Structure 1
Amino acid sequence: EPLSLSERPQNRCVQLDAGTELWLRQHADICPPLQREHSNEDDVNSAVELYLQAGKDGRPLTMLVELIAQIVSKSAEQQLRTEEQLGYIVWCTLRHDAGVVGLRVIIQSSSRDAQYLDERIEAFLETVPSLIEELAPDDFADYRQALVDMKLEKDKRLREETARWWQEIVPHATRDFERSARDADVLTKLTQPQVLECWQTHFARESKTRRKISSQTFAPHHALPPPPSAPHIVLLDALEDQLAYKRSLALWPAPGAGWPRTSPTESLPDRAPAAPPPPAPAAAGALPAPPTCGPALASS
């Protein structure tokens, strides 16, 4: 017999502790012997992924995080890659994990170690509130419309359409097959104060509800810095410590849990009813179609 819904394995995302930073570091000096034996000593790149967890996938939260990433990404590249020249790879985008969304910034660098990269990302993130506040209304509307256009862009290949349907069945488990249209409808109503409030609530460094993971990988030629002394930073270098800490955390609901098929507070954008197809031309010599039965005839 097939497994019941409660018996089927589910991917669930851990809920990071609010107000805490998790640092996961990888370096040849602290990695297990087997990993050290098979590491690439010629790799000159260090890298960091700074991830800020926002919350459960839903509207308008996911749209707000996407819009923030849309606004911040160009400034991040300009500051961290062009001006500070930390590395060629600088990436700021939405991250979606098992029904949970967040903002992530990735940098790969051969000249700086991962901890320094984390510090420079944090310094840049301090400037984001003023970036949002000083954004001209027309520029904000352009960012928002660009994201709306991206949502409503038609699939160019069959595999794109297939992937879009399947992600609603398997990873998202929301069966929200009108996601793009609904997302675009919500996006058109978002305002700058809403975006700023979302940032201050979930991503600002001084926020008590901020949830952060800094995943740091050090190149062999970069020395491992001393452990940070800040009380809100939890340092997890050993894999055993990481697994133990992970088991101590609460879990977000499974993907799709509680996601309504329809919501009383949202609806699809108004669409004109599709015009009926024109009648097919009658073949030569074909008999005319019989008249449609009216209510009286149908009930007799």
Structure 2
Amino acid sequence: MAHETHLRDNLKVHRDDFKLNVKLQLVALIAEQAAFRQLRSVEQLGYITLLRLRNDSGIHGLQFIIQSIVKDPGHIDTRVEAFLKMFESKLYEMTKDDFKSNVNALINMKLEKHKNSSEESQFYWTEIISGRTPKFDRREAEVDALKKLTQQELIYFFDENIKVGATRNITLSVRVYGNQHLAEYNSQKSEAVQPNTVQIDDIFSFRRSRPLYASVR
């Protein structure tokens, strides 16, 4: 067993949709630096601390990745939840100017021209192989959606999908315990499973038990 402890929290949010995509992207843009500062710099949970967007065959979401030699995954999981609660306040209290500044920053990122033919080719191939319906006008359509987005719509999206305890919040927590955290592993494994939580011991059986999404094409 490795010395490092590893946690991946995957928050599944929505299927591919321009309006929902830009809301999720904007939340990630606003939260990314705050997450690194709080979880890495202030709490020093792990030497690898990431918050990034994720797309699994057309299902979009957020992913926290934290790798540590000092804290066990159970503890880190609680700190990720604490960060989301703290970020909730940051989002609610954001000024109109800050909201507009973040929207414009994301628009500028999307309008940036491809640096070379390889980068342009990669954009089109990503559309083809990503598991979602290819939309080669994605950047233009998402820019248009951003220009129409209101601050209240972003808050409502966060409350419905990402906020701790949100009705549509679906989180997959993948925990890898290093050998220095065996005691925590044994203790947490014997704890009662929390309400609205499923402990997955056999990933293959769990996958077979789940309903399938309809085709995104």
What is the TM-score of this pair, normalised by structure 2? 0.92
1:139, 1:208 → 2: CA distance? 28
Out of 133, 143, 146, the residue aligned to residue 174 of structure 1 is: 133
Indicate conservation of the 8 Å contact 2:57/2:132, yes or no: no
- Runs of 5+ unmatched residues, structure 1: 1-40, 258-300
Superposed displacement of residue 254, structure 1: 2.8
Pair 252,199 (structure 1): closer, same or farther in 2 beyond 3 Å: same
Deviations 1:38-70 (A, max 9, x none): xxx4x4211111111112111211111111000
Superposed displacement of residue 253, structure 1: 2.7
Partner residue, 1:235: 199
RMSD (Å) for aligned C-alpha atoms: 1.4
Out of 24, 46, 64, the residue aligned to residue 65 of structure 1 is: 24
> Does residue 124 in structure 1 map to residue 124 in structure 2?
no
Indicate conservation of the 8 Å contact 1:44/1:110, yes or no: yes
Partner residue, 1:194: 153
Indicate conservation of the 8 Å contact 2:46/2:69, yes or no: yes
Q: SS of 1:177's equivalent?
A: coil
**One-letter code aligned to 2:188:** P
Partner residue, 1:249: 210
**One-letter code aligned to 1:112:** K
Deviations 1:10-44 (A, max 9, x none): xxxxxxxxxxxxxxxxxxxxxxxxxxxxxxx4x42
> Does residue 81 in structure 1 map to residue 45 in structure 2?
no
Superposed displacement of residue 222, structure 1: 1.1
> Does residue 162 in structure 1 map to residue 126 in structure 2?
no
**One-letter code aligned to 1:233:** T
Pair 66,100 (structure 1): closer, same or farther in 2 beyond 3 Å: same
Partner residue, 2:58: 99
1:251, 1:101 → 2: CA distance? 16
Partner residue, 1:213: 172
Calculate percent identity across the aligned residue pairs: 33
**One-letter code aligned to 1:205:** V
- Stretch moving more, 207-216 or 169-178: 169-178
2:195, 2:145 → 1: CA distance? 39
- Runs of 5+ unmatched residues, structure 2: none
**One-letter code aligned to 2:207:** K
> Does residue 133 in structure 1 map to residue 92 in structure 2?
yes
**One-letter code aligned to 1:61:** L
Pair 206,175 (structure 1): closer, same or farther in 2 beyond 3 Å: closer
**One-letter code aligned to 1:226:** Q
Q: SS of 2:214's equivalent?
A: coil
Superposed displacement of residue 88, structure 1: 2.2
| Number of equivalent positions | 212
**One-letter code aligned to 1:190:** L
Deviations 1:164-185 (A, max 9, x none): 1112222245231111111111
1:172, 1:183 → 2: CA distance? 18
1:101, 1:58 → 2: CA distance? 9
2:13, 2:154 → 1: CA distance? 13
Deviations 1:86-105 (A, max 9, x none): 11211112111101101111
Indicate conservation of the 8 Å contact 1:99/1:254, yes or no: no
Indicate conservation of the 8 Å contact 1:90/1:106, yes or no: yes
Q: SS of 2:114's equivalent?
A: coil
Indicate conservation of the 8 Å contact 1:167/1:173, yes or no: no
Q: Which has the higher helix share?
A: 2
Superposed displacement of residue 152, structure 1: 1.1
